Amino acid sequence: MLSIEVDRFARMSQIRYQRDIERIDLPIPAKIRQLPIFSDPELASETKQRIKFVLIYINGVILLISGGLGYLLAGKTLQPIKEMVDEQNRFISDASHELRTPLTALKSSMEVHLRDRKLTLQQAKKLIRENISDVNKLKTLSDALLTLASFEKRKEVKLSGKVNLSKLVCECMEDLEPLAKERHIMFKSNLGSFSVWGDMHKLTELVTILLDNAIKYSKEDGLVSLKIRAEKGFVLFSVKDNGIGIKKDNLPLIFDRFFRAEEQRNTIGYGLGLAIAKNIVELHRGQISVESIYGKGSTFIVKLPQNKFS
């Protein structure tokens, strides 16, 4: 296009030059009148070459800058997707690891008993009972994993409305009373009358996890205190126990999936309760925190919005 423009410019200059010369009333020889002003075709082609070079150079720079920017922007856009895929892969490998150990134990115990020719009916029944108990534990684990996985689709979860948290906590306490009694643990509560915006079933699950842990990790004859109070549009619910407490190093890990303190590795549990609790709180746009002194006890505090959030 620029080359055409250069030619056009030369043509037009020639026409104008001749028109202007004709207007002059002086005896100019015809040779001079017809003299082309762009008499040097080499100069014209050199100009074209230079324009071509400048254009290639400028376009190259534009291409490089836009390519680089495009690469950076694409990276930025894809980062959350990459993080999500990484998180999903971590979840799958954690879950498979947790499922493999009890399944292998179950399989080998059945194989050993199957090879035993002298296996009595009584022994077989005992084995089946043990297996059923293991299968139940596996079911608990898979249920917890499914609950965690469902939080990935959190946008689909609808928070139904106002929930009377005080009443809900009271009901959870009643449900867990037999478990507490078994371990001679007392409940003390100051619940008032407070409501939050959320999902009743999920909040029940959250309170149950915290209460269950408070009982599980309390010493015999312990005391679990539950309190609810309001503060600047939020409701603060706390569960305090005077149990085994959590080591300072473990505090930042406590809400991680599959995290269990060293001392609890051999007891029942999969380290999923607090991860689920954290997800439920985040779903309600709240916060969960823990304060603990090792050997003295722990306090879990949940902060939830009182009113509907957009």
Of residues 197 and 257, the one with the C-beta less far from ligand ADP: 257
Which residue, chain included where needed, has tokens 């029942």?
268
State the residues that interact with ligand ADP by CB under 6 A.
213-214, 217, 241, 243-246, 254, 259-261, 264, 269-275, 298
Least separation in angstroms between CB 219 and ligand ADP: 11
Q: How far is the CB of 231 from ligand ADP (least distance, A)?
A: 23
Nearest-approach distance from CB 310 to ligand ADP, in angstroms: 31
Check the CA dihedral 179-185-191-194 and report its sign: negative
Nearer to ligand ADP, 195 or 213 (CB): 213
Whichever of 90 and 308 has its CB closer to ligand ADP, that residue is 90
Residue 184, exposed/middle/buried by CB under 10 A (0-12, 13-18, 19+)?
Answer: exposed
Amino acid sitting at position 128:
I
Q: Give 6 or 138: the residue with its C-beta nearer to ligand ADP.
A: 138
Q: Is 38 helix (H, G, I), strand (E, B) or coil?
A: coil
Give the full edge-to-edge strand order of the sheet including 297-305: 186-190, 223-231, 234-241, 297-305, 287-293
Rounded CA-CA distance 3/115 in Å is: 92
Pick between residue 140 and residue 164 the one whose CB is nearest to ligand ADP.
Answer: 140
Q: How far apart are CA 302 and CA 214, in angstroms?
A: 14
In terms of C-beta density within 10 A (0-12 exposed, 13-18 middle, 19 or more buried), how is residue 102 classed? middle
What is the nearest approach in angstroms of ligand ADP to the Cβ of residue 256?
8
Cβ 166 to ligand ADP, closest distance in Å? 21
Q: Which is nearer to ligand ADP, 3 or 204 (CB)?
A: 204
- Residue 298 beta carbon to ligand ADP: minimum distance, rounded to whole angstroms: 4
Cα 269 to Cα 195: distance, rounded to the nearest angstrom: 31
**Would you call 186 helix, strand, or coil by DSSP?**
strand
